[in-house]
Amino acid sequence: MTYIFGNWKMYLTLEESLSLAQSLADMSVPDGVQACVFPSMIAMHSVQESLAGSGCGVGVQHVAWTPRGAYTGEISAFIAKEAGSAYALVGHSERRHIFGETNDDVRKKLEACMESGLAAVLCIGETHEDKAQDKRTYRLKKQLMKALHGLSQDAPLLIAYEPVWAISGSGGGEACLPADVQDIHGWIRTEVAQYTDKDIPILYGGSVNQGNAASYIACDDVSGLLVGSASTHADSFAKIVAST
């Protein structure tokens, strides 16, 4: 299975999200490809209704770690799943670096997804400083260990490797070369094998567009892509899905 996931972040209004969903409803999704978009919380349910019966699923960009209660402003994995989400992003670099989510928060959110039966996409990635200081694998090792050691996997788990320096908008937007992506995905695969005997899909994300998507997909250890800004245009997202 190849996963092509689109993170709409906070780029779109409700109206724009619904219009994009309507365009994607007819998108052709090749066999063996799982497409999914991650709209804002405001739009998620309506987008899910609009895409029902299409080849494209819907997920949420983050979740709270507790199922329900007095938690103003939060939406839990349990509620997101009940409202039609198939996946949740957990620990996206913008949550970690802009909103201060720690490895402990990420772990609690992953556990909440597993308990709710919501498939989780654990996002990991090093910063430019980590890379400059030769701490790339140190950072990734720590993120993986805190997230996965002893985690009971009651729902599907995927990993998205997104170097912060390669993400457009919030990061550096610097292209990560496919050979570099392959090397690090191979390393992640070996690292993850310490924590689980399941075959965990590893997606790549960071300035993916219709021009470079195929070069990442061609890498042996890349199981799919997490696409940010290029996923907010029906044409480019459909081309990325078709390039698999």
Residues that bind ligand PEP (CB under 6 A): 7, 162, 167-169, 205-208, 226-230
Q: Which is nearer to ligand PEP, 159 or 226 (CB)?
A: 226
Q: Is 162 a catalytic residue?
A: yes
Q: Which residue among the candidates 62, 92, 101, 111 is catalytic per the annotation?
A: 92
Q: How far is the CB of 152 from ligand PEP (least distance, A)?
A: 27
Rounded Cα distance between 120 and 241, Å, is 21
Q: Which of 94, 111, 162, 185 is catalytic?
A: 162
CA R_g for the chain: 17
> Of 48 and 93, which has the nearer Cβ to ligand PEP?
93
Q: How far is the CB of 60 from ligand PEP (least distance, A)?
A: 14
Nearer to ligand PEP, 192 or 230 (CB): 230
Q: Are 244 and 227 in contact (CB under 8 A)?
A: no
Token readout for 104 is: 């402990």
If one counts every other C-beta atom within 10 angstroms of the C-beta of residue 71, the result is 12
Please indicate whether residue 49 is annotated as part of the active site.
Answer: no
Query: Nearest-CB residue to ligand PEP?
Result: 228
If 0-12 CB within 10 Å is exposed, 13-18 middle and 19+ buried, where does residue 142 land?
middle
Distance CA 116, CA 77 (A): 6
| 53: region left, alpha or beta (phi > 0 left; psi from -120 to 50 alpha) | left
Shortest spacing between CB 68 and ligand PEP, in angstroms: 28
Looking at the Cβ atoms of 184 and 227, the one nearer to ligand PEP is 227
Give catalytic residues, as residue numbers: 92, 162
